[in-house]
Structure 1
Amino acid sequence: MNRMSWIKSLFVCLCLAGMAAAPAASAAAPIKDPENTLVMQLKTGRVVIALRPDLAPKHVARIKELARKGFYDGTPFHRVIPGFMAQGGDPTGTGRGGSGFHLPAEFSREKHLRGTVSMARASDPNSADSQFFICFAPAPALDGQYTIWGQVIDGMEFVDQIKKGDAADNGAVNGPDRIVWMKVASDIKE
């Protein structure tokens, strides 16, 4: 087993060992800070993400900028590992694409819990771009290694329904589910 396979297996084991639900807001709960809340429409329902500018102000600003440009609309969840995470935000769906703008890491002491939204990156800590992941379960091995910028506060059941990938292929998804649209809550006029 090579080092990357071993690390991925360790992540999955740690996640499965520590499954605990983060509190979720009621579907009827009003959004407290619409400027710092994202709404992501999936085919199965809406996911509400509270942004964390207190932890990662540059990442939050960039995510909001991309959402306002419609960058995430139609992008796939190209890598989905059951019990671990769903990764999206790459318009190419390959795991190699992005917006072309790398962000400096904004690591914190915050924990990767169920519903945590964090930036995906390459081995360089300052390589985060547009790709992100949502944790299905706690992932303590990621703490302090990835920039946390949000927390799902409603609709985690819809995240749970995202099509899972092939475990033998590092979670790569054939015919992946897509983000229908993602907007800053203050921009939604319904």
Structure 2
Amino acid sequence: MRLSIILPALLLVTASAARADDTPPAAPVLAQVLAESTTFDWRQPKAEDTLYMDLPGGRVVIELAPRFAPEHTANIRTLAREGYWNGLAIVRVQDNYVVQWADPGAGDATTRKPLGTAKARLPAEFEHTGTLPGLALIDSRDAYAERVGFVEGFPVGHDPQRGATWLAHCYGIVGAGRDNAADSSSGAELYVVIGHAPRHLDRNITPVGRVLSGMELLSALPRGPAPMGFHADAAHHVPITAITLASEIPAAERLPIEVFRTDTPAFQRLVQARRERHEEWFVDPVGRIELCNVPLPVRLRADSAK
């Protein structure tokens, strides 16, 4: 009995001494971080902030970002509740850039779909100023922001001098299209990033959320041949069956999605695991990471029957 207790202790001391003399312990790999995570490290998106976008190929799930775009989020909720997008279409698929959905008849006042009780014009919501609970900064060299990190699962840029934080245009981010005027968006015309992160859009347009699942249904769509990826031929538009708020359907019918929290020690370990790549395949452990290369794990709740 005594030997079984002392021997592991001796091995631990020996291993610790060896690490002190040689190199620090290797960072964990992503699979290890996820395997060791607890229920505390995961969260369920709020139903009132979750959109289900139903396409012929399946369902896309989008989480809205009311902390950064409260007026856009409120308008989008209204549009969804009133069925605005039902029967509209994806009209633009630009390679290495964005997929965009809108009213195909919006350019003609006689065929334009009414916005119902939603607002036709919203203020620009390009950044948030002031304290942000849950801001988790990461060590990363960034061309577009002095500091970068995450807030409630969303990638952000941060200016500590001005106390400003904004959503970054990483893969999967959803934004609201606008005209030249900064306050010309209604949230009715939305896009999602499907290519290399167009960070030049940061603080020039209002991001409203991000895709949690179903990106493959958007990123694999046929590219539009017209300028900027638009489908000039309406026959090539992808119809939208419906865009529905999760809060508008019975709880038992909602997708039991969980998202990895970004305000926990487990997330910092995840970032470390992706900065120091110690999977067997890697020859060079890299030692650096870009904001948009940090994975944001999503899973179905473990006790779900689905």
TM-score (ref. length: structure 1): 0.77
Aligned partners of 1:36, 1:155: CA distance in 2, in Å? 17
| Residue type at the aligned position of 1:104 | P
How far off its partner does 1:89 sit? 2.4
SS at 2:53 equivalent: strand
Structure 1 portions without partners, runs of 5+: 1-28
SS at 1:164 equivalent: coil
Q: Rg bigger for which structure?
A: 2
Give the structure 2 partner of residue 118 of structure 1. Answer: 175
1:177 corresponds, among 217, 238, 263, to: 238
Tell whether the 8 Å contact from 1:105 to 1:125 is kept in structure 2 after alignment: yes
RMSD: 2.2
1:48-127 map, 5 Å: 48-92=61-105, 94=107, 99=115, 101-108=120-127, 109-127=166-184
Structure number having the greater strand percentage:
2
Of structures 1 and 2, the one scoring higher in RCO (CA 8 A, sep 6+) is 1
Spell out, residue by residue over 1:51-79, the C-alpha distance to the aligned partner (whole angstroms, 9 max, x if none): 10000000000001001100001111112
How far off its partner does 1:94 sit? 4.8
Q: 1:46 aligned to 2:46?
A: no
> Among the aligned pairs, what percent are the same residue?
33
Tell whether the 8 Å contact from 1:78 to 1:95 is kept in structure 2 after alignment: no
Tell whether the 8 Å contact from 1:105 to 1:126 is kept in structure 2 after alignment: yes
Aligned partners of 2:240, 2:71: CA distance in 1, in Å? 23
Give the structure 1 partner of residue 10 of structure 2. Answer: none
SS at 1:58 equivalent: helix
Spell out, residue by residue over 1:74-99, the C-alpha distance to the aligned partner (whole angstroms, 9 max, x if none): 11111220110011122516599573
**Judging changes above 3 Å, is the alpha-carbon distance between structure 1 residues 156 and 85 closer, same or farther for their aligned structure 2 residues?**
same
SS at 1:170 equivalent: helix
TM-score (ref. length: structure 2): 0.49
**Judging changes above 3 Å, is the alpha-carbon distance between structure 1 residues 80 and 94 closer, same or farther for their aligned structure 2 residues?**
farther
Structure 2 portions without partners, runs of 5+: 1-41, 128-165, 254-306
Aligned partners of 2:219, 2:82: CA distance in 1, in Å? 27
Task: Tell me the matched-pair count.
Answer: 161
Aligned partners of 1:95, 1:122: CA distance in 2, in Å? 16
Tell whether the 8 Å contact from 2:171 to 2:194 is kept in structure 1 after alignment: yes
